[in-house]
Structure 1
Amino acid sequence: MPPFTLSLLQPFWRRLRIYALTTVGCAWLYSTIYQESFARDLVYAACVVAIVQCLVAGGRYTLAYQRRRQGRNDADADALQKWPGWQWMLPWMVVSVVIGYFAGIRIGDILLGIRYTPITAAHNAHTMIISISVALMPTGFLTYVFYTRNRMAAIELRAETAQRTAAESQLKLLESQLEPHMLFNTLANLRVLIGHDSLRAQGMLDHLIGFLRSTLAASRTGSHTLAEEFARISDYLALMQIRMGPRLKIQLDLPEPLSAYQVPPLLLQPLVENAIKHGLEPKVSGGRVVVTAERHAGHLVLTVRDTGVGLDAQAHHGARFGLQQVRERLFTLYGEAGSLALQPAPNNDGGTLAVITLPCSRSNEK
């Protein structure tokens, strides 16, 4: 059976189990109090419990709907807009039990082939009151269980909403810190270049304008395509190549099937910046930056590899702001499902390999 079918059937089976236990419990009480057949009382209990629960549930939704129409949506009484409040439910529970008791007894008589005699019921008022009182106990208990579960669901919903709002605020803060960090570094490099080569500085400024324009557009959305992310990386690397010249070689590998995948904006740029600043710039001969995207099972794997001085040498350059920002963004957006790993590059070229692992969302599967 498909998982989504099981998830839909779980509430049904849960309620069926509660109904069965309630029915058996009422039948046992009736048979114990009146010294009657358990099987016979089980039939009556099944009919009474079923009718009472239908009436209680129907009244609960109807009363809650009427209160919503009247604009009564207190946080306590209408936690999930399915609860009208105890001041309405208590009287309705009593009415439901009375109606359900007589209707259930009548249906039970029909099922058992017993002829119904109103006169007998009138002469056994004491028995009837005891029976209705017994029926009230499970009704009140089940209604309280429903109320408690609704309250817990409402509390969890509010907590999830608050957590999501806090995560979104934290993400905006991280992005607002990250973009000036990259911009200040680029402007500092541009200032140095202006004094040495104005033509290259002009070209660098043109690339910077294009990069900032795309960055501003991306900052207004929570995500963009992987193709757009690679385009921004290309603009940034063009800026760095103007400054570093032949010392910087670039390789971008984005398979066409992955180009439409959604990723957070400015995700790869700090890793590329780290590769250049801490990996290639300290190396006199420079090196190569390789950015790739791959699909492994249900994950999207993005890598930034450089052939620079390696992790051991990078450790002496101090904390790397961009890497911490990437880790915090991944945790904020994906929790434990998103990760960033930094490790030595696997072949003889040396350098460092940064690996980002993201879960593939449902929208990317289409």
Structure 2
Amino acid sequence: MTIDWFAKLRHLLQTLAFCLAVATVQYAFAPERPYAPILVYSLFIGTVIWAVVDLGRAVMPSARETGWPPGWRGFALVAAGIVAGRFIGVALADLICRNVGLYGLEDHVHGAAEVRADLLITLVAGIIGSYWFYARNKSAYLLRRMREAERHANDARLKLLETQLEPHMMFNTLANLRALIAVDPPRAQAMLDHMIAYLRATLDASRATTHPLRTEFERLHDYLELMAIRMGPRLSYALDLPEDLAELSVPALLLQPLVENSIKHGLEPKVEGGRIEVRARREGGHVVIEVRDSGVGANGHGSGGKGFGLVQIRERLASLHGAGASLDFSTDAGGAHARIALPVAA
């Protein structure tokens, strides 16, 4: 069994801080009693309760969602800690106070009222402290489960995004391939080769949530080659990936929605077509990836940057990098411009 001693030390320090607060409150209600003995008693009682409860639950079978023994065992452990704190902690604190002289010149005698008050304080503080740690453990577990659920939801949205993107391209490509087989077999062969490479890359991407940026650019190359065969001279493109960024890990299918948006909403509606440029560069602690097109601009991108694919990219970037990553999208008379910024290690 492995014990996280760093976590145990953190719990001990939190317990000592709680004991200090209890002693301060107790002194505020009974200022006629000296503060030093109250503090010593509070610290020793709390430390003994912590030792019994926190170390005890580390060696007992515990529930995964709380880190505490389930059922009556958890209550029994807390009760044992409170009893041990009351008798062992009080005995040790009394010994320290008498030997150090914290009681003063006269020998201190614990009256019945003082014993009852101290017992009540020990009981209430022990229960509150134990419940606080129990609630924190359960909250941390629920937070982990929520993050796992968000990650699974992001994966599911990625699969949904793929199912929405792929058929549109596949049906158009197959229709063009059927027409080319009869009139231009070499172009049909080239189109088929790119289609096979693209589908292979798509299959690999579906098995992982991230992959190297190089793989993302290779996938775009095959996709744009397919589109270039379909659109002919109406489509030209440029892909610029510096070698030092090729192995940067990025979410799979990160750039595909942006490029498909550029073709579907920017270049296809334009009679003369246009050009798409995808470039990556380093800017300080970020890698910036830009997708530009010379399409119809705002007249074609009616969603204003709030379409399904763009929303999914923003959500996936937020889940992976939080506020450290961003997607900016804008259009003007000269076309559309998407800018992704990803944080990278220095």
TM-score, with structure 1 as normaliser: 0.77
How far residue 291 of structure 1 moved from its aligned partner, in angstroms, is 0.9
Paired residue type of 1:25: V
Match of 1:165 in 2: 152
The residue number in structure 2 matching 1:285 is 272
The aligned amino acid for 1:66 is V
Q: Is 1:274 paired with 2:270?
A: no
CA shift in 2, pair 1:203/1:284, >3 Å: same
What secondary structure is seen at the aligned counterpart in 2 of 1:80?
A: coil
Determine whether 1:141 maps to 2:128: yes
2:96 aligns to what?
A: 107
Q: 1:284-312 deviations in whole A, cap 9, x for unaligned? A: 43322211113344443322212223321
Unaligned runs of 5+ in 2: 1-8
- Residue equivalent to 1:46: 39
Contact map agreement 2:20 2:42 (CA 8 A) in 1: no
Secondary structure in structure 1 of the residue aligned to 2:330: strand
Distance 1:128 1:313 in 2: 81
Task: Report the Cα offset of residue 228 of structure 1.
Answer: 1.3
The answer to whether structure 1 residue 191 and structure 2 residue 184 are counterparts is no
Shift of 1:62: 3.0
Asked if structure 1 preserves the Cα contact closer than 8 Å seen for 2:293 and 2:335, the reply is: yes
Tell me what 1:4 maps to: none
Q: Distance in 1 between matches of 2:121 and 2:55?
A: 26
Q: Check whether the contact 1:167–1:333 (CA below 8 A) recurs between aligned residues.
A: no
The answer for the alignment partner of 1:62 in structure 2 is: 55
1:25 is aligned to 25
Alignment partner of 1:330 out of 308, 311, 314: 314
Deviations 1:202-234 (A, max 9, x none): 111111111111221222111111111111111
**Corresponding position of 1:95:** 84
Q: How many residues align?
A: 333
1:365 match: secondary structure? coil
Q: 1:211 to 1:125 in 2, by over 3 A?
A: same
Query: How far apart, CA to CA, are the structure 2 residues paired with 1:104 and 1:114?
Result: 11
Q: Distance in 1 between matches of 2:64 and 2:254?
A: 43
**CA distance in structure 1 between the aligned counterparts of 2:172 and 2:97, rounded to whole angstroms:** 84
For 1:146, the aligned partner's letter is F
Which AA in structure 2 matches 1:48?
Answer: Y
User: Is 2:82–2:126's contact at 8 Å kept on the other side of the alignment?
Assistant: yes
> C-alpha offsets along residues 82-122 of structure 1, whole Å, 9 cap, x if unaligned?
8861232123312211211121121012222669999x85x
State the one-letter code of the partner of 2:58: Y
Q: Does the CA-based 8 Å contact 2:293-2:336 persist in structure 1? A: yes
- Comparing 233-242 and 145-154, the one that deviates more: 145-154
User: Quick check: 1:357 aligned with 2:340?
Assistant: yes
Q: Which residue of 1 aligns with 2:3?
A: none
The answer on whether the counterparts of 1:255 and 1:294 sit within 8 Å (CA) in structure 2 is yes
- The runs of 5 or more residues in structure 1 that have no matched partner are 1-8
Residues 171, 329 of structure 1: 8 Å contact kept: no
> Is the alpha carbon distance of 1:143 and 1:251 closer, same or farther for their aligned partners in structure 2, counting shifts above 3 Å?
same
Moved more, 59-68 or 225-234: 59-68
Of residues 137-146 and 92-101 in structure 1, the stretch that sits farther from structure 2 once superposed is 137-146
Question: Does structure 2 retain, via aligned residues, the 8 Å contact 1:52–1:139?
Answer: no
Moved more, 185-194 or 208-217: 185-194
* Aligned-CA RMSD value: 3.4
Superposed structure 1 runs of 4+ greater than 6 Å apart: 9-13, 115-118, 319-322
Identity, % of aligned pairs?
A: 36
Question: For residues 273 and 191 of structure 1, do their structure 2 counterparts lie closer, same or farther at Cα, with a shift above 3 Å needed?
Answer: farther
Q: Which residues in structure 2 correspond to 1:232-243 (within 5 Å)?
A: 232-243=219-230
Structure 1 distance, partners of 2:53, 2:248, is 45
Are residue 225 (structure 1) and residue 198 (structure 2) matched?
no
Per the alignment, do residues 240 and 111 of structure 1 end up closer, same or farther by CA in structure 2, a change over 3 Å counting? same
Displacement, 1:129?
A: 4.2
Question: What code does the residue aligned with 1:73 have?
Answer: A
Q: Distance in 2 between matches of 1:340 and 1:130?
A: 61
3-state SS of 1:85 partner: helix
CA contact (8 A) 2:235 2:275 kept: yes
User: 2:138 maps to which residue?
Assistant: 151
Separation of aligned partners in 1, 2:171 and 2:212: 26
Q: Is the 8 A contact 1:291 1:302 kept in 2?
A: yes
For 2:237 and 2:305, the matched residues in 1 are separated by: 23
**Distance in structure 2 (CA, Å) of the matches to 1:16 and 1:113:** 20
